[in-house]
Amino acid sequence: MSSTGITPVPFGRRLKRFMADRPLIPLVILLVILVVILQILRPGIVNERWIANTIKFAIPLAILAGCQTMTMLTGGIDLSVGTVATMSAFIMATQVVKQDPAVAFLLAMMPAVLIGLVNGIGVGVFRVHPLIMTLGTSLIGTGCLQVYQRTVIASGAKIPDFLAWLGTGVTYGFPNALLLFLPLAALIVFTLARTGFGRLLYAIGDNERATRLSGVQYWQVITALYVTSSVLAGITGLLYIGLIKAPSLSLAEPLVLPSVAAAVIGGTSIFGGRGGYTGTIIGALILTVLTTLLTILQMPEGARRILFGLIVLFVTAAYLRIVEER
Amino acid sequence: MTTSPLLDATGVAKNYGAVAALRNASLSVLPGEVHALMGANGAGKSTLVKILTGAIPANAGRILIRGEARDIRSPAAARRAGLLPVYQEPSLIPDLDVLSNLRLTSTPVEPFRAWVRELGIADLDLRDTARDIPLAVLRVLDLARALAVEPDVLLLDEMTAALPANLAEKVLEVVRRQGDSGRAVIFISHRFVEISALCDRATVLRDGETVGVVDIVPGVEEKIVELMLGTRIVKTHVAARSAAQKAAPAAARPRIAVQNLRVGTKLSDVSFDLADGEVAGVVALEGQGQDELFAALAGSIRPSGGTIEVDGAPVKFSHPIDAIRAGIAYVPGDRSEALAMQRSVRENIALPFSAALRNWGPINMRKERATVLSAIERLQIDTRAQGEVQRLSGGNQQKVTIARWIAADARTILCFDPTRGIDVGTKQEIYKLLRELAGNGKSVLFYTSELEEVQRVCDRVIVIFGGRLVDIFPVEEADEPALMRAAYGLPRGAKADIGILADPTAHASDAPEATP
């Protein structure tokens, strides 16, 4: 405190301190740099339409990454989000053919709640490692979906107009999906920062023993958490089918690992106790822009994946170095 | 004596950062003797043992084995030098059978078998997996494994703890014979009865220094207690508490009544009351069942027998939340057990508020802030680094763990060694706080490893030894020598009871079961 005012602190150190205090800033800078690179490589690509498009694709990823953020805060992970999203999307698209949309919606959300409940009880009561638990339910869910597919093979599928409007529509230049995402994101941020439940997620990830001694019942928190995560994944599935418009059995599966990556890039510690949702949202945007960038480079698929992996690793490592001050 | 010592350690010192665990310890063991190593909690016994067996390096000192200077850098080097320890924790690898465990340390099998029989275990199958063998037998196997390689110096740490009487007897017999055959045994124990029956001499440590080497003769226990206490033996005068500090008049029924509480093999048949407005101290050597007592009262573990009554109604706690609902809060001795280190002071103090399902909703930030601030003020927590609890000093972290329950207004606080490893100033503040709590009609159960704290803080003292209640003192009688004696299981007024050492066999069976 005493000497810093007099002796000039090296600029690098000061910059580091500044970034450590505001971990979002380096993320935003990285996002801007990526956009600038894109603009240089393909002048004129960055326009209103491109931005709306990027946001449209970033939103499902950002919601799933929200599931990962919340579970990772407790030291867990939810690998079943892809399956859950796929299931709700597929059931919605097939049931809406004959049923009332509201009924179809309820049917679509049922497996989400069920899988979340099983995950929560497995992790919270029987103490199965979240990685194994959610991987297991994910496989079971995929299997069930295959069985289900045979029973509805004749009925066909359609995308409800409302979901198509929500997923792909743009109003005054703003994607309609923001109508869903903005309140949802605000709710998650608020929950994490200002509610008892949010506090408990951080505390459990930091020191589970301490929460137990404070009277927290682990299984309650964990069950509620995994159900919430699953329901969010289910909603994402409905949004995503409106965007992709082609129901398949592996619809949202490719989003699972990027959702983990987005949370990690956004500064959430996989060991629990650290992180937040705002960083995750920017992480999801960074990944989406990065994908576009690699697509226009016109590389072979293999090289693109290698580059993608390298960049994710590099960014995460660099980010942790900047933010962690120890 | 003209025989040269088998093991001669002098001037051994060990620092952990600024803390000196050992300053100037020495230990000299002659061939053919069983040598007791004694000292109160934190005197440096375990540090010395670890240095002698190569588990940690010393900062200074000289270790001679058979007159030769040896540098014991690793457990393997100690083994080659003929020094073999048997620690309190069983050391067989749980997933291997006994035979594979023997191979691992290249222990000869036949001598091992012979020793196992000798030690009173007739039917051991070497193919049994170590995990399936009961703890007491495992400890005996550890001993047999050590004996089988015929070490010059055998180091036994609390060997008879957790052993049933018949096995313990055999063990003591074998240890005695080991000494008689010209080898040496270093015997660490809290039990005077065993030491008097077994040992030839005792080295006493205090505050990391060897303060005396005494021959074990009848009546030496007084001298040993004196040595362990040092200058503090002068009978401290208990300052009369002012009216405000005095315990509030006892209510008709106690706040907590513990009857015949039993927890596994660690705690048996403990009964006491805790009244509103009092601070009851708990004094015990390390590992005498106090951890289990506190855990049972805090709802962390379920007792295997006995009853706990709160305000006259029997309770069964299955989770800490049950104890908290009954107004009983537990402050663990290890701060890292109680704090979410990366979270803020505020969140740590407010943690219990969010615990119940109905409090998961939005937090009333203004109300929480006021409550937390008043607790911070009451304990005078230095909040300059309040963003993350891990940046606070140890003393301030300890204050946060207590502040949490002040903010939650718990009626009873179980404080487990709250002053361990914190600075003097903070200690004084904690003493004052505990007295204030009692003055406000709260009750406090206070385990301390520093005997002098008893008189500063407590109204009564409960002494536990070997999982059983030894005595309950009013604070006026709880001077340090009396407490130290009681902590070693010697009943009050031990001077009259010197016969314990004179005729150990007569008391060997019932002494550990000393009842109040």
Delimit the domains of chain A by residue range.
Answer: 45-323
B502 near A CB under 8 A: no
A201-232 per-position pLDDT tens digit: 999 999 999 999 999 999 999 999 999 999 99
- What's the whole-number mean pLDDT along residues A285-295? 90
Locate the chain A residue with the closest alpha carbon to B317: A215
> Above 80 in pLDDT, residue A272?
yes
pLDDT on residue B507: 40
A244-260 per-position pLDDT tens digit: 888 888 899 999 999 99
DSSP B152-177: SEEEEESTTTT--HHHHHHHHHHHHH
Interchain CB distance below 8 Å, B320 and A213: yes
Report which secondary-structure segment, H or E, holds A302: helix A301-323
- The total number of structural domains in chain B stands at 3
Q: Name the amino acid, one letter, at B89.
A: E
Q: In terms of domains, do B35 and B158 share one?
A: yes
- What's the whole-number mean pLDDT along residues B184-200? 86
B144-179 per-position pLDDT tens digit: 999 998 888 999 988 887 677 778 888 888 998 888
Q: In terms of domains, do B210 and B263 share one?
A: no
Task: Identify the CATH number of the domain defined by range A45-323.
Answer: 1.10.3470
Domain edge (last residue) among B410, B426, B452: B410
Q: Say which of A194, A207, A215 has its CB closest to residue B365.
A: A194
pLDDT on residue B124: 84
With a CB cutoff of 8 Å and minimum separation 6, the contacts of B398 are B335, B418, B419, B422, B426, B430
DSSP A171-231: ETTEETHHHHHHHHHHHHHHHHHHBHHHHHHHHHHH-HHHHHHTT--HHHHHHHHHHHHHH
When mean pLDDT is compared over A30-39, B183-192, B242-251, B477-486, the highest value belongs to A30-39
Return the higher-pLDDT residue of A100 and A312: A100
pLDDT on residue B28: 92
Say which range, A305-314, B187-196, B198-207, B504-513, has the weakest mean pLDDT. Answer: B504-513
Q: In terms of domains, do B89 and B172 share one?
A: yes
As a whole number of angstroms, the distance between CA B89 and CA B158 comes to 10
Interchain CB distance below 8 Å, A213 and B332: yes
User: Which two structure tokens, joined as six digits, stand for B200?
Assistant: 């030839």
DSSP conformational letter for A166 = H
Q: In terms of domains, do B253 and B351 share one?
A: no
Q: In terms of domains, do B420 and B491 share one?
A: yes
A209 near B CB under 8 A: yes
Asked if residue B232 is part of any domain, the answer here is no
As a whole number of angstroms, the distance between CA A322 and CA B218 comes to 68
> Above 70 in pLDDT, residue B427?
yes
Q: In terms of domains, do B382 and B469 share one?
A: no
Q: Say which of B321, B343, B350 has its CB closest to residue A215.
A: B321
With beta carbons less than 8 A apart as the criterion, state whether A222 and A124 touch.
yes
CB atoms inside a 10 Å sphere around CB B499:
12
pLDDT on residue B240: 44
What is the complex's ipTM, to 2 decimals? 0.86
pLDDT on residue B258: 93
pLDDT on residue B2: 55
> Above 90 in pLDDT, residue A119?
yes
Interchain CB distance below 8 Å, B360 and A195: yes
Q: In terms of domains, do B492 and B356 share one?
A: no
pLDDT on residue B420: 78
- What's the whole-number mean pLDDT along residues A149-165? 84
> Above 80 in pLDDT, residue A155?
no
Q: How high is the mean pLDDT of chain B? A: 84
CB atoms inside a 10 Å sphere around CB A7:
7
Q: In terms of domains, do B174 and B195 share one?
A: yes
Asked if residue B421 is part of any domain, the answer here is yes
CB atoms inside a 10 Å sphere around CB B224:
21
B264-322 per-position pLDDT tens digit: 888 888 999 999 999 999 998 877 888 999 999 999 999 999 999 999 899 999 999 99
The domain in which residue B173 lies consists of 7-216
Interchain CB distance below 8 Å, B340 and A206: yes
Say which range, A82-86, A154-158, B59-63, B223-227, has the weakest mean pLDDT. Answer: A154-158
Q: In terms of domains, do B76 and B125 share one?
A: yes
A218 near B CB under 8 A: no
Asked if residue B226 is part of any domain, the answer here is no
Asked if residue B439 is part of any domain, the answer here is yes
B227-260 per-position pLDDT tens digit: 887 755 444 444 445 444 454 455 568 899 999 9
Q: In terms of domains, do B305 and B448 share one?
A: yes
Asked if residue B341 is part of any domain, the answer here is no
Q: Contacts of residue B338 in chain A, CB cutoff 8 Å?
A: 209-210, 213
Q: In terms of domains, do B383 and B308 share one?
A: no
Asked if residue B69 is part of any domain, the answer here is yes
pLDDT on residue B260: 92
Asked if residue B225 is part of any domain, the answer here is no
Q: In terms of domains, do B75 and B182 share one?
A: yes
User: CATH code at B460?
Assistant: 3.40.50.300
Closest-CA distance of chain B to residue A265, Å: 19
Asked if residue B335 is part of any domain, the answer here is no
